């Protein structure tokens, strides 16, 4: 059993004995036990995803044999700084699903395109998508040909928000807090030969983290990775149109 499991069980038992200890005593005991045990923060993660049907022509095994080009995250201007974190989370998710999806990571994609003189065309293609929600067929075909890939995965960050809620306060001291993180992502898989979008998914994840100090929280990359695994495994590889998952740790 992990320290996190122990901490979560102690939380439950301490709060169950609240009437005996008093709420202040219960909160203080909970804080002391978690700090002494070195536990990570227990959290509740809820994810929901919807996906379009996977076409019969798309064999998931092909995604394991031939590398998929992964483009940079599309994101609103205010969230552009989160793109590297999201890209790391996506790489982890592609390796975690079964069967794993081979990728040409975002950084390698950009470097290869630069070496082949396609960087400007890549930028123009993304700018076109930002305007009309489409990837230009000819540009997409040249990109796929230049990188030797049949499919391109375009990820997007739609929304990110955090809110801190006080769970218990005694003598003016905030003893237990919840940090609620909301993340909305989308994924599109494009065929570089036909210029068609062959699959699309949108997902939302809400994570409620119990923490005793601002430094005690669940990393955003971990939250994003769980959501992306859910979207890719259930929506793309297992062809489920709508799924929900709840994880209590």
Q: What is the CATH number of the domain that holds 199?
A: 3.40.50.10610
Q: Give the pLDDT of residue 192.
A: 96
Query: Are 14 and 54 found together in one domain?
Result: no
CA 153 to chain centre: 15
The token pair at 203 is 């997902």
Task: Give the whole-angstrom CA distance, residue 209 versus residue 81.
Answer: 23
- Judge if 22 and 111 occupy the same domain: no
**Distance from C-alpha of 145 to C-alpha of 2, rounded to nearest angstrom:** 48
- 49 has pLDDT over 70: yes
17 and 89 inside one domain: no
For strands 197-211 and 43-51, give the pairing.
antiparallel
Spatial separation of the C-alpha atoms in residues 227 and 47, rounded to whole Å: 6
The length of the chain is 249
User: Which one is predicted more confidently, 143 or 21?
Assistant: 143
* Percent of the chain topping pLDDT 70: 74
Task: Give dist(CA 29, CA 173) in Å, integer.
Answer: 14
pLDDT exceeds cutoff 70 at 216 = no
- Are 197 and 166 within one domain? yes
Q: What pLDDT, on a 0 to 100 scale, did the predictor assign at position 126?
A: 96
Q: Which residue did the predictor score with more confidence, 126 or 28? A: 126
Provide the domain count of the chain: 2
Task: State the CB neighbour count (10 A cutoff) for residue 142.
Answer: 18
Domain hosting 19: range is 1-39
Q: Are 3 and 82 contained in the same domain? A: no
pLDDT band with cut points at 50, 70 and 90 for residue 153? very high
Q: Is the dihedral of CA 111, 115, 116, 121 positive or negative?
A: positive
Assess whether 50 and 144 both reside in one domain: yes
pLDDT (0 to 100) of residue 210: 73
- Can you give the pLDDT at residue 161? 92
Based on the domain organization, do 63 and 115 belong to the same domain? Answer: yes
- For 211, residues 6+ apart whose C-beta sits below 8 A from its C-beta are 41, 177, 178, 179, 217
Between 193 and 11, name the one with better pLDDT: 193
Let me know whether 34 and 84 are in one domain.
no
**DSSP codes, 116-184:** TT-HHHHHHHHHHHHHHS---HHHHHHHHHHHT-SEEEEEEEEEEEEEEEEEEEETTEEEEEEEEEEEE
- pLDDT score of 194: 95
Task: Mark whether 182 and 194 lie in a shared domain.
Answer: yes
Measure the N-to-C terminal CA separation of the chain; round to a whole number of Å. 11
**Do 145 and 192 share a structural domain?**
yes
Q: What is the mean pLDDT of the chain?
A: 82
| Better-scored residue on pLDDT, 249 or 105 | 105
In angstroms, the CA 73 to CA 140 distance is 16
Whether residue 214 has pLDDT greater than 70: no
Residues 24 and 45 in one domain: no
With 90 as the cut, is the pLDDT of residue 1 above it?
no
Q: Do 96 and 204 fall within a single domain?
A: yes
The reported pTM is 0.78
């Amino acid at each position: 059993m992990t320290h996190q499991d122990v901490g979560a069980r102690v939380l439950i038992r301490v709060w169950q004995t609240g009437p005996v200890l008093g709420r202040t005593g219960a909160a203080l005991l909970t804080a002391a036990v978690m700090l002494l045990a070195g536990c990570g923060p227990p959290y509740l993660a809820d994810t929901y995803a919807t996906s379009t049907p996977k076409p019969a022509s798309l064999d998931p095994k092909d995604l394991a044999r031939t590398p998929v080009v992964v483009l940079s995250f599309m994101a609103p201007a205010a969230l552009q700084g989160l793109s590297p974190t999201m890209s790391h989370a996506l790489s982890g998710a592609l390796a975690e699903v079964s069967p794993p999806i081979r990728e040409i990571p975002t950084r390698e994609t950009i470097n290869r395109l630069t070496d082949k003189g396609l960087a400007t065309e890549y930028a123009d293609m993304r700018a076109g998508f930002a305007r009309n929600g489409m990837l230009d067929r000819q540009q997409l075909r040249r990109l796929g040909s230049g990188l030797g890939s049949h499919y391109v995965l375009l990820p997007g960050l739609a929304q990110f928000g955090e809110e801190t809620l006080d769970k218990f306060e005694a003598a003016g001291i905030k003893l237990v807090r919840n940090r609620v993180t909301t993340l909305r992502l989308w994924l599109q898989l494009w065929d570089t030969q036909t210029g068609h979008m062959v699959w699309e998914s949108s997902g939302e994840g809400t994570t409620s983290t119990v923490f005793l100090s601002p430094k005690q929280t669940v990393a955003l990359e971990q939250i994003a990775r769980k959501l992306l695994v859910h979207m890719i495994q259930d929506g793309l590889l297992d062809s489920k149109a709508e799924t929900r998952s709840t994880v209590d740790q």
